[in-house]
Amino acid sequence: MPVASPGEIAERAQRRRNRMLWLAPMLFFIWQGAFFSSYAKPDGPLRTVEIVSLGSHLFLALVLLFLLATGGGWRHGKVVRALLDDEATRAHRARAYAAGFWALAACALGLYAAAPFVPLEAGEIAHILLSVAVVVPALRFVMLERRADRD
């Protein structure tokens, strides 16, 4: 059985990263519906299920942000990680971060404008802002990477 070259390994890892960075933020965003459909101001201490839900939201957000920041490929050697983090990928990541910044600014502006009309708790606002800060750059990065793969 022939051994794959670092370039082939990097190409497969890049396709896998693009699939994961497309699916995971979409699921992350869809799961926010469950949070807001059951969100209620707790009268007492948080129940275990609420703590697990919030903890899993934070954990998945950290994983997605870490994947976006590093590019993945952690189980491969330095050569493959260097191929995964080429100049085009770094440019796509920078553009994705910019899109995330503008989406976050627009979301904060919208929340600020809605504040007199819709009472929101600090936890709800943080949840919304974190979700936008994670989902938008991840999806923008994947869209740029996929477009580059097609060209």
Listed in sequence order, the residues at least 6 apart from 131 whose beta carbon sits closer than 8 Å to its beta carbon are 28, 29, 32, 61
Whether the model clears a pTM of 0.75, i.e. scores above it, the answer is: yes
Which residue ranges make up each domain of the chain? 6-150
**Residue 42: C-alpha distances to residues 49, 50, 52, 122, 123 (Å):** 13, 10, 15, 13, 11
Q: Please give the Cα distance from 87 to 80 (Å, whole number).
A: 14
How far apart, in whole angstroms, are the C-alpha atoms of residue 75 and residue 83? 14
DSSP of the chain: -PPPPHHHHHHHHHHHHHHHHHHHHHHHHHHHHHHHHH----SSSPPHHHHHHHHHHHHHHHHHHHHHHH-S-TTS-HHHHHHHT-HHHHHHHHHHHHHHHHHHHHHHHHHHHHTTTS---HHHHHHHHHHHHHHHHHHHHHHHHHHHHH-
Give dist(CA 61, CA 135) in Å, integer. Answer: 9
For 15-34, the pLDDT digits (tens) are 888 888 888 888 887 877 77
pLDDT in tens, 74-84: 777 788 888 88
What pLDDT, in 10s, does the model give residues 84-135?
888 888 999 999 999 999 999 999 999 999 999 988 888 889 889 999 999 9
- DSSP single-letter state for residue 120: -
